[in-house]
Amino acid sequence: MNQTVRAIADLLAEEAVLLGLAAADKASLLAALAQSVTRPVGLTAQAVEKALLAREAMGSTGLGAGFALPHARLPGLVRFHALFARLSAPIAFDAIDGAPVDLVFLLLLPAEDRATALAALAAIARRMRLPGIAAALRAAPDARAAHAILAGQPPA
């Protein structure tokens, strides 16, 4: 199934924004993220966590400036599943700049849809590279505000 992805608003529901997520390290963060998406994805947390760890083994998805984009392709998914988390405290993530991570955008991708997957990853990376977005997300008072920032919508 080809899902149209032009912007984060096409991927991320407001209820998929978590603020204040606590994690001690990268492994516990990936486990917590996997657990958080179990119900909407319809897969076990173990299957999601295993896929995320396998992707991280190929190279860190810590993109720098405190942002990580963990993602994995999962057989059986028919659509993308996204989740944004702002951590309660930054953690080491093996990011390309060595900086700890406190903003995390999880993206689970249908294994068969490579072209749309690249568009989705690019939409997220483009948004997060915009000046002021990371600072605005760190200052967002609630999930609704963080979602609006990510989706490029005016604050409510």
Q: Which residues carry out catalysis?
A: 71
d(CA 147, CA 106): 14
Question: At 151, is the secondary structure helix, strand, or coil?
Answer: helix
The alpha-carbon radius of gyration of the chain (Å, integer) is 14
Rounded to whole angstroms, the Cα distance separating 38 from 130 reads 31
**Secondary element (H or E) of residue 108:** strand 101-110
